[in-house]
């Protein structure tokens, strides 16, 4: 179904086209929403029209409402089967119970999608596969993102990150990454996973999204991206780095002390720091190919030419006041 088809299907439930467009966006990308998000989407002041819309959703059983901390507003979960069936997604994961961390991420993503209303957002694996493997991009299936090397080439495991991918009016691909508390190791893995795809795109953007409560992690994420994309390793370093990693691996496997020879100590000093710690763990999983990616200049050249971009967005909203209700969202008695 096209977006227009979905919107038309939802209007048959008695919603205006504007309300239907918002519901389609929520059902396809989040499942949960806040009244202020509808007001922003519709371009109206959050007042009587917004209250009437959400009252209608609850009264007719299309959504469930949950009181937030200190009664500061409500969170709504759109989970009615008939609505999802109408847009061709009766078994959508967004109908199912959600964890606290997932709710915050979904609200964050929804805020980004509402702000980027001029983009086309690919949500499902099928949509992403169809877009990237078809002309004019025609990316080979084995070059798509996968969670592990063993899954590469199997389209059923492509695009493991459950985040929408955007395409703006010029055809530029926008990869979203939502920053999470203490999850620094996810960002370099995310970048490594998408390297082959980025190599083959005519224009791309990695958009880092920070909820306001996590804006303190901005500098950390910027340093990680600088290491991964803008500072490729010199080719002369690869042999020595590979040897150093192999010595570390052998010592760990055999339960031996690390070597004390001068060559190892020099390498240990040269390859000290968080970047090489992350690279070592990636090398243990992916082998020599990981080091070759780390020395490639393709992505750094793309950034220099403006073909690639890194953007950071700090959302002006807080989500932590939703914490008490989030603990109840999985409760069968609350029907969420």
Q: Give the pLDDT of the chain (336 residues) as one tens digit per residue.
A: 899 999 999 999 999 999 999 999 999 999 999 999 999 999 999 999 999 999 999 999 999 998 776 556 789 999 999 999 999 999 999 998 887 778 888 998 999 999 887 899 999 999 999 999 999 999 999 999 998 878 889 999 999 998 999 999 999 999 999 887 555 568 888 888 898 999 999 999 999 988 777 767 778 888 888 888 888 888 778 889 999 999 999 988 887 788 888 999 999 998 988 788 888 887 887 788 788 878 888 889 999 999 999 998 888 887 776 654 545 555 444 444
Q: Do residues 259 and 251 make contact, with C-beta atoms less than 8 angstroms apart?
A: yes
Question: pTM score, two decimals?
Answer: 0.81
| Residue 126: predicted pLDDT | 94
Q: Do residues 283 and 291 make contact, with C-beta atoms less than 8 angstroms apart?
A: yes
What stretch of H or E contains 224? helix 218-225
| Residue 332: predicted pLDDT | 47
Domains of the chain by residue range:
1-96, 233-295
| Token reading at 251 | 């010592």
| Residue 84: predicted pLDDT | 97
- pLDDT tens across 114-158, in order? 988 789 999 999 999 999 999 999 999 999 999 887 888 999 999
Residue 234 gets which letter from DSSP?
Answer: P
Instruction: Answer whether CATH 1.10.10.10 is correct for domain 1-96.
Output: yes
How far is 213 from 216, CA to CA, in rounded Å? 8
| Residue 324: predicted pLDDT | 46
């Amino acid at each position: 179904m096209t977006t227009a088809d979905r919107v038309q299907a939802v209007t048959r439930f008695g919603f205006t086209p504007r309300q239907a467009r918002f519901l389609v966006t929520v059902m396809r990308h989040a499942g949960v929403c806040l009244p202020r998000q509808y007001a922003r989407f519709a371009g109206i002041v959050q007042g009587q029209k917004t209250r009437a819309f959400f009252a209608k959703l609850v009264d007719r059983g299309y959504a469930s409402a949950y009181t937030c901390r200190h009664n500061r507003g409500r969170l709504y979960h759109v989970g009615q089967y008939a609505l999802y069936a109408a847009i061709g997604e009766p078994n959508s994961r967004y109908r199912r119970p959600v964890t606290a961390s997932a709710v915050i991420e979904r609200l964050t993503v929804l805020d980004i999608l509402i702000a980027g209303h001029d983009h086309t957002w690919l949500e499902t694996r099928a949509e992403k596969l169809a877009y990237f493997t078809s002309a004019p991009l025609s990316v080979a299936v084995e070059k798509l993102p996968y969670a592990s090397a063993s899954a590469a080439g199997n389209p059923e495991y492509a695009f493991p990150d459950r985040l929408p991918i955007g395409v703006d009016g010029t055809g530029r691909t926008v990869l979203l990454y939502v920053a999470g508390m203490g999850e620094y190791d996810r960002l370099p893995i995310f970048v490594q996973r998408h390297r082959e795809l980025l190599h083959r795109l005519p224009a791309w953007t990695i958009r880092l999204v920070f909820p306001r409560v996590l804006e303190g992690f901005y500098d950390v994420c910027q340093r990680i991206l600088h290491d991964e994309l803008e500072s490729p390793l010199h080719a002369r370093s690869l042999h020595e780095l590979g040897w150093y990693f192999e010595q570390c691996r052998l010592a760990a496997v055999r339960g031996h002390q690390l070597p004390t020879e001068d060559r190892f100590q020099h390498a240990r000093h040269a390859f000290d720091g968080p970047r090489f710690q992350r690279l070592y763990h990636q090398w243990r999983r992916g082998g020599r190919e990981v080091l070759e990616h780390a020395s490639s200049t393709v992505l750094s050249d793309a950034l220099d030419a403006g073909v690639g971009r890194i953007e950071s967005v700090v959302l002006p909203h807080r989500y932590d006041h939703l914490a008490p209700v989030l603990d109840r969202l999985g409760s069968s008695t609350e029907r969420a």
